[in-house]
Amino acid sequence: MNDHDAPIHEKNSHEFPIHETLGDSLAQQGISRRAFLKFCTAMASLMALPPGTATAIAEALVKAKRPSVIWLSFQECTGCTESLTRSYSPTLENMIFNMISLDYHHTLQAASGYGAEKSREDAMKNFFGKYLLVVDGSIPMNNGGVYSTIAGRTNLDLLHEVAKGAAAIIAVGTCASFGGIPNAKPNPTGAVAVSDIIKDKPIINISGCPPIPAVITGVLAHYLTFGGLPELDDLGRPKSFYGETIHDRCYRRPFYDQGKFAKTFDDEGARNGWCLFELGCKGPVTHNACATTKWNGGTSFPIESGHGCLGCSEPHFWDAGSFYSALSMPASPLKYVAGAAVAGAAAGVAVSIGNRIKKGTAKSAHQKATIEDLEK
Partner 1 sequence: MKPQTIPIYTQTEADYSVGNIRALLTEIAARLERLANDGTSASIDLNSLPFAPGEYERLRHALGKGEVSAHIEAIGPSEITETRYPGVWWVTHYNVEGDIVADMLEITTAPEILSSQPDDIRSGLALLHIQLKEEVQQ
Partner 2 sequence: MDADLFLTWVRSTGLNIAIGIFVLGTLWRLVEIYSLGRKRDLAVPRHRSGASGLHTMFRRSVPPPGMFKRSATSYVAGYVFHIGLFIIVFLFAQHIKLLQELTGLSWPGLPTQFIDATAVVTLATMLLVLAERINKPVKRFLSTFGDYAGWALTFLPVLTGYLASRHLLLPYTAMLALHILSVELLLAFLPFTKLIHVFTLWGSRWYNGNANGHKGVPV
Query: Sign (positive/negative) of CA torsion 187, 206, 92, 227?
Result: negative
Q: Which does 147 bind (CB under 5 to 8 A by kind): partner 2, partner 1, none?
A: none
The values of phi and psi at residue 292, to 5°, are: -115, -45
Q: Is 296 in the site for partner 1 (CB under 8 A)?
A: yes
Q: Is the dihedral of CA 255, 256, 258, 259 positive or negative?
A: positive
Select from partner 2, partner 1, none the partner in contact with residue 264, using the beta carbon and a kind-dependent cut-off of 5 to 8 Å: none
Q: Which of residues 301-320 bind partner 1 (CB under 8 A)?
A: 304
The rounded distance, in Å, linking the Cα atoms of 346 and 7 is 76
Q: How do beta strands 131-136 and 166-172 pair? A: parallel
Q: What 3-state class would DSSP assign to 204?
A: strand
What is the SS3 assignment for 61?
A: helix
- When binding is defined by CB under 8 A, the residue of 85, 112, 143, 299 that contacts partner 1 is 299
56 sits near partner 1 (criterion: CB under 8 A): no
| Closest CB 363 distance from partner 2, rounded Å | 9
Contact 22, 62 (CB under 8 A): yes
Of the candidates 74, 127, 131, 255, which one interacts with partner 1 according to CB under 8 A? Answer: 255
Residues 154 and 176: beta-carbon distance below 8 Å: no
Residue 149 main-chain phi, psi, to 5 deg: -135, 155
Parallel, antiparallel or unpaired: strands 139-140 and 191-192: antiparallel
Contact positions vs partner 2 (CB under 8 A): 235, 245, 248, 256-259, 261, 277-278, 284-285, 314-317, 319-321, 325-332, 334-337, 339-341, 343-345, 347-349, 351-352, 355
Nearer to partner 1, 252 or 282 (CB): 252
Single out the residue of 68, 89, 195, 286 in contact with partner 1 (rule: CB under 8 A): 89
302, interface contact from partner 2, partner 1, none, CB < 5-8 Å by kind: none
Task: Work out whether 213 is an interface residue with partner 1 (CB under 8 A).
Answer: no
Contact of residue 44 among partner 1, partner 2, none (CB under 5-8 Å per partner type): partner 1
Among 291, 310, 312, 326, binds partner 1 (CB under 8 A): 291
Count other Cβ atoms within 10 Å, centred on residue 359: 10
Q: How far is the first Cα of the chain from the last one, in angstroms, to the nearest whole number?
A: 122
One character per residue 36-55, x = contact with partner 1 (rule: CB under 8 A): -xxx-xx-xxx-x-xxx--x
**Number of residues lying near partner 1 (CB under 8 A):** 38
Q: How far is the CB of 332 from partner 2 (least distance, A)?
A: 4
Tell how many helices (H) and how many strands (E) occur in the chain. Answer: 17, 9
